[in-house]
Chains A and B, each alone.
Chain A
Amino acid sequence: MARRKKTITGAELFCRSLVKEGVTYLFGYTGGAIMPVYDAFPKFPKLKHVMVRHEQAAAFAAQGVARASGKPGVCIATSGPGATNLMTGIADAHMDSIPIVAITGQVATSVIGTDAFQESDIIGMLVPVTKQSYILDDPYEIPRVVKEAFYLANTGRKGPVNIDLPKDISNAVIPDDGFDATIRYPVLQPPGIGKDQVAHAQRLMASSERPIVFVGHGVIQSGAQGVVRRFLEKSNMPFSCTLHGISALPVDHPQYLGMMGMHGTVEANRAIENADLIIALGMRFDDRVTGKLDEYARDADVIHVEHDPSEINKNVRATVPIYSDLKPAVAEMTKVVKPKPYKKWYAFAAENRRYWEGLDPVNQENSRGDKQNLLMGTVIRKLSDLTDGKDNVVADVGQHQMFTARYYRFNRFNTWFNSGGLGSMGFSVPAAMGVKYTRPKERVWVIVGDGSFQMNIQELGTIMEQNIDIKILLLNNNFLGMVRQWQDLFHGSRFVGTPVKNPDFIALASAYGIAGERVTGEKSLEPALRRAMKHKGAYLVEIVTDMDEMIMPMIPAGSRFSDMRVTR
């Protein structure tokens, strides 16, 4: 009699492959087509499934894991609506180069293409917003596809990968051997910096009187902060961060000029406007960074170090394009750079800083808005002081996001998380769950507005169920503040579609068993924040803020840096 072969189901094989990739947390929501995989979870206790309340939150939570750990986060959903609900979170990950693996169920291969119940052509929908998408039509391919998905998500420029898993493939029973898990698409190593490029960069650096270094998301993602810091400290050049570059280096660094771009600091933006050399490290010159391209930094030569060649010369022409990983390229540049005092240049920056500090509403005597409500800037500055700039901060999208980027003194590496490229409202609460799972011993703050809070407010259910200890700082001005600001500045103060009639957030949190309190005045702000910090478990601090407040300075979209508005 023939020896009976050991068999395995597609779903089990899939789970085993996930375990092999070191997956711990999966955020997801079950349903018809993905049920076999869920059915296999109990056999793999290393996989911890966290049930969210909406698939979009699963994708954001996976991003939270990825952003905090640097390894791919995983979300899982069923076919059809489950899969389409993941899309916003996946598109967001694509824009911000965040490695996530999104697993979607699919109807059985026999009925694919027949508009079967809960069928959607998710590959067709996800192609433009994923690095790679797979549909598994052969159970033997599972080990290879899973391995390759994690490899591709996390190698080179990171990004989301989708695996579509038809139900009959996860239900298939096959002999448990003979799998070939060879990666078919090895990622190309960038060629690195050449001798000519080093020499050219050296000449530009030696002759520059007004240089500025840009620190982008790539510095965090490649862990090049140490190398970059050595370069900065040897060269004595000032630096500025992109929105995602914040927390790569401590904000209190004496050479730091602040964030650049639309809502960047006066000193950073004026420096960029007047620079004769830009050294851009791991960033992509997004339109929120450059404003009007033709007029952007016209006197500056640009040394652009990027490991994605399609980003070089895309928006801004590079004088020295360097297709390389950051660490080796910056290390080479450090060798040849000569320190200079840049006295005039720093004096110029200091002058601009003083100019802004004299105008900053947060520095005014009562730091209140016209209606005596608290200013967001004041609240964030207070939070920053109380936490010493060392907590994990997850912001949503809007004014509060920009205030956090500007006023929180990030002094610990990679502690700032937000949706920059896609700008997805509803990001913060689920993403913070992912960050908390990754850094269970650290405090995690959600900074969220009343608009964006309600875009994934159902996740309070997940927080309740899983006892996720995150502190939610809700800045409530009963308005979609950022749009209101634009309406105020560019649309004749016609507030169309921006006033929000809000529920009683404290009561709502309490319905989910989450403690909270409302703060209306400055006196109660610090005690409330302290209570939130002390409280064991999730805590909501709702702060009534001033609806007229604007985040300034601002370079209007598509404008020149010289058009920067400093006051309203």
Chain B
Amino acid sequence: MRQKKLHTILAFAHNQPGVLYKLLSLIRKKRYNVETITVGHTHVEGISRMTISFSHGEGNKIEQIVQQIDKITEIPKTDDVTYENVVNRELILLKVKASPQDRVHVTATTQIFGGKVIYVAPAHMIVEITGKQENIDNAIKMFEEFGILGIARTGATVIYREEEDMGLDRIVLPKNRVVSIKKKG
């Protein structure tokens, strides 16, 4: 598998219908291809974290994309985190050929990468590994000698090592309308 250095953007978004569509529409407009994207809730209710990675593009286009994503109303904060002090992890599920003789080797290889076996069948196993993208690429290479039957990768998700600016001062989260009406009624 060819190793590609990916460019990673981290965005915090108001969890509303259509936000992802807007973001991807922008990236499409700039003719970039999204390699991975992960979206999930954060500890702040109503705010999602989005990690998007692209293959490297030329010139200042990435900077442009970041700034234009930053303009999306529901996205209070966007950063290019490729060279930032962040933890960047990806999860992979690997379905590997494993004859009874190979099982112990597959298990050992999994342990090298700090992963675990989560399913065993007569002729194959499923293992779960998390790690940096390079480590995952490396792991895939190691398992290739057993024979890979399937790969499910989540794509990178990123968190700052230190304090994160989620742009919360730029957004007003909706109060629970029903409650306020009851109060007045």
Contacts and interface: CB of A to CB of B under 8 A. Distances in A.
A185 B172 contact: yes
Interface in A114-162: 123-124, 127-128, 131-133, 138, 140, 152
Interface of A: 5, 123-124, 127-128, 131-133, 138, 140, 152, 175, 177-178, 180, 182-186, 188, 308-310, 313-314
B171 A185 contact: yes
Given A128-B29, A178-B181, A313-B60, A185 B73 contact: yes
Interface string B156-185: 000000000000001111110100110011
Nearest to A140: B177
A184 B174 contact: yes
Contact of A310 (B14, B21, B70, B171): B70
Interface in B73-118: 73-74
A178 B185 contact: yes
Nearest to A184: B172
16 contacts: A128-B29, A138-B177, A178-B180, A178-B181, A180-B174, A180-B177, A180-B180, A182-B172, A183-B172, A186-B170, A308-B71, A310-B64, A310-B70, A310-B71, A313-B63, A314-B64
Contact of A127 (B18, B172, B180, B184): B18
Interface of B: 14, 18, 21-22, 25-26, 29, 60, 63-64, 67-68, 70-71, 73-74, 170-175, 177, 180-181, 184-185
Given A184-B172, A313-B63, A178 B184 contact: yes
Contacts of B29: 128
Contact of B73 (A123, A132, A314): A132
Contacts of B70: 309-310
Nearest to B174: A184
Contacts of B180: 178, 180
DSSP class of A's interface residues: helix, strand, loop or mixed? loop
Given A177-B184, A185-B14, 14 more contacts: A123-B18, A128-B25, A138-B177, A140-B177, A177-B185, A178-B177, A178-B181, A180-B174, A180-B180, A184-B14, A186-B170, A309-B67, A310-B70, A313-B63
B67 A310 contact: yes
Nearest to B183: A178
Contacts of A131: 73
A131 B71 CA distance: 9
Nearest to A312: B67
A74 to B, nearest CB: 19
Contacts of B63: 313
Contacts of B21: 124, 127
A113 B115 CA distance: 43
B172 A186 contact: yes
Nearest to B173: A184
Q: Which 5 residue pairs are nearest across A and B when measured between Cβ atoms?
A: A310-B67, A178-B181, A184-B172, A132-B73, A178-B184
Contact of B25 (A127, A138, A177, A185): A127
Contacts of B181: 140, 175, 177-178
Contacts of B175: 180, 182
A180 B71 CA distance: 25
A177 B60 CA distance: 50
Contacts of B170: 185-186, 188
A178 B18 CA distance: 27
A241 to B, nearest CB: 26
Nearest to B170: A188
A558 to B, nearest CB: 17
A422 to B, nearest CB: 15
A89 B45 CA distance: 37
A132 B19 CA distance: 11
A186 to B, nearest CB: 7
A492 B70 CA distance: 46
A127 B19 CA distance: 10
Given A178-B184, A310-B68, A310-B71, A127 B22 contact: yes
Contacts of A308: 71
Nearest to A128: B25
Contacts of A138: 177
Nearest to B167: A188
A249 B184 CA distance: 53
Nearest to B75: A185
B162 to A, nearest CB: 23
A17 B108 CA distance: 67
Given A127-B18, A313-B63, A184 B25 contact: no
A64 B70 CA distance: 29
A131 B74 CA distance: 11
